[in-house]
Structure formats: structure tokens, C-alpha cells
Amino acid sequence: MKTDIILAGVGGQGILSIAATIGTAAVAKGLNIKQAEVHGMSQRGGDVQSHLRLSDKPIASDLIPQGQVDIIISVEPMEALRYVDMLKPDGWIVTNKATFNNISNYPEAEDIYNELKKYKNHIIIDANTIAKDLGSSRSANIVILGAAAKFIDMPYESFEEALMSIFARKGEDVVNANIKALHAGTEAAEKYIKG
């Protein structure tokens, strides 16, 4: 088993929480993991990314080689495209549809979606709206994780268990909100694939 993931987004969008959830699930399963994060200056509203590698064998590099990523999981659609050079030919792009526009030359959203659709395997869901409808707009990142979960070679329950352990200290409400967000993301992805 080996899954190489790029997590993408804008500083402050919560990609490290996605990473922590997958990481916690992987460690509980006894898998090897390496996860390279970006801290420091770029976190201030700039593009951020994390390389997350899971394997049942030892992992050498903290960085994934170019062209070998299995899944790009992105909380922002333009940020998903930023790493397509890392993606395998048959890799998946799972991204939020909601744009985060904090630059003056941000492109037309439709142009971004059209580019994304050029890749064979893509899922584009509006995680912000889904999270908002659930009454927990801050868990859009976990909605995206839910949409990507079935492409990560681990049992679905392991993500639920990871969310329970990560958010346990914040109380039952927060745990439940995140698990609901995970489920909603998974459902939205299934719907998207069915068309």
C-alpha cells in the first residue's frame, strides 16, 4: 500500500487539520507516514501545500517526486491546479469549488473549472456551501477530506476514529460536526462521480 497526497490551499484554510486527520488514521493503522508542511511567512494568506505520504514500507523522501502524486486534495480550486505537475497520469484531483480570491489578478472561476475538467479524474464540490448547510462553516476542509477519503487506501472508519481523537478535547459537538462534514463530503463526491 502506498498513497502520495498533495494537500493544497491558502494559508489559514485548514489543510493542516486534513493532514493531521489522515496522519492520525495512518499511524493508528501502523502505516509509515511522512508529511512535509509549510510554516512561516507563506502562512500569511499565501499559497500553502503539504506533501503527505503513506506506505506500508519505509518512506525515504519527505517530498513526493514530481509526477507521482496519487491525489491532490485542495480546499481551493486554483490551488489544486498549482500542483498538477506533481500528479500521476491517472491520479485524482479532489477540490473545493469555492474560490478564495485575495489577489487582484484572480482568474475567472469558469476558466479554472474548465482547466480542472481537462484531467481525467476530478471531483469538484462546493465544500463551503455544504459545510454552511450543516451549520458548521469552519469544517469545509473536512468536507473535502470526506470527498477524497475513498481514494486513500484506508478503511473509512479510520477517518472517523481519527476525527474523534483529534477533536475529542473540543467536545462532542465539534466531533459530531466534523464527522457529519466528512460524511457529507463523501456523499457529494459519490454524487459528482455519478454525474
Partner 1 sequence: MQKILLLGDEALAQGALDAGLSGVYAYPGTPSTEITEYIQASKQAEEGGIHCDWSANEKTALESALGMSYAGKRALVCMKHVGLNVAADPFMNASIVGANGGLVIVSADDPSMHSSQNEQDSRVYGKFALIPTFEPSNQQECYDLVQYAFNFSEMFHTPVLLRMVTRLAHSRSGVECKSPKAQNLLNIPTNLKQFILLPAIAKKNYAGLLGKQNDFMSHGEKDGWNTLTLGKDRKLGIIASGIGYNYLMENYPDGCPYSILKISQYPLPVNMLTRLAAESVELLVIEDGYPFIEEQIKSIIPTPLIIRGRLDGTLPRMGELNPNIVAQGLGIKVPDFNIVPEVVKPRPPKLCDGCPHISSYNALNEALSDYVPGRVFADIGCYTLGALPPYNAINSCVDMGASITMAKGAFDAGIFPAVAIIGDSTFTHSGMTGLLDAILDKSAITVMILDNETTGMTGGQDSCAFGRIENICLGLGVEKEHIRVIIPLPKNHEENVKVIKEELEYKGVSVIVPRRECLQVIGKKHRRR
Which chain residues interact with partner 1 by CB under 8 A? 10-11, 19, 23-24, 27, 32-47, 51, 59-67, 78-79, 81-87, 102-103, 105-107, 111-112, 115, 119
Least spacing, CB of residue 123 vs partner 1, in Å = 17
Angle, in degrees to the nearest 10, between helices 156-167 and 15-28:
110
Least spacing, CB of residue 154 vs partner 1, in Å = 15
Least spacing, CB of residue 183 vs partner 1, in Å = 25
Least spacing, CB of residue 120 vs partner 1, in Å = 11
Cβ proximity to partner 1, 104 vs 195, nearer residue:
104
Cβ proximity to partner 1, 76 vs 160, nearer residue:
76
| AA identity, residue 108 | E
Q: How many CB atoms lie within 10 A of CB 97?
A: 19
CA dist., res. 38 & res. 28, Å (int): 24
Cβ proximity to partner 1, 79 vs 160, nearer residue:
79
* Residue 184 main-chain phi, psi, to 5 deg: -60, -40
Cβ proximity to partner 1, 121 vs 187, nearer residue:
121
β-strands 32-36, 47-55: how paired? antiparallel
Cβ proximity to partner 1, 37 vs 161, nearer residue:
37
Least spacing, CB of residue 55 vs partner 1, in Å = 10
Cβ proximity to partner 1, 46 vs 155, nearer residue:
46
CA dist., res. 8 & res. 16, Å (int): 10
Least spacing, CB of residue 93 vs partner 1, in Å = 10
Cβ atoms of 164 and 97 closer than 8 Å? no
Burial readout 41-58 (b: 16 or more C-beta within 10 A, e: otherwise)? eeeeeebbbbbbbbbeee
User: Which residues have C-beta within 8 Å of that of residue 114, sequence separation ≥ 6?
Assistant: none
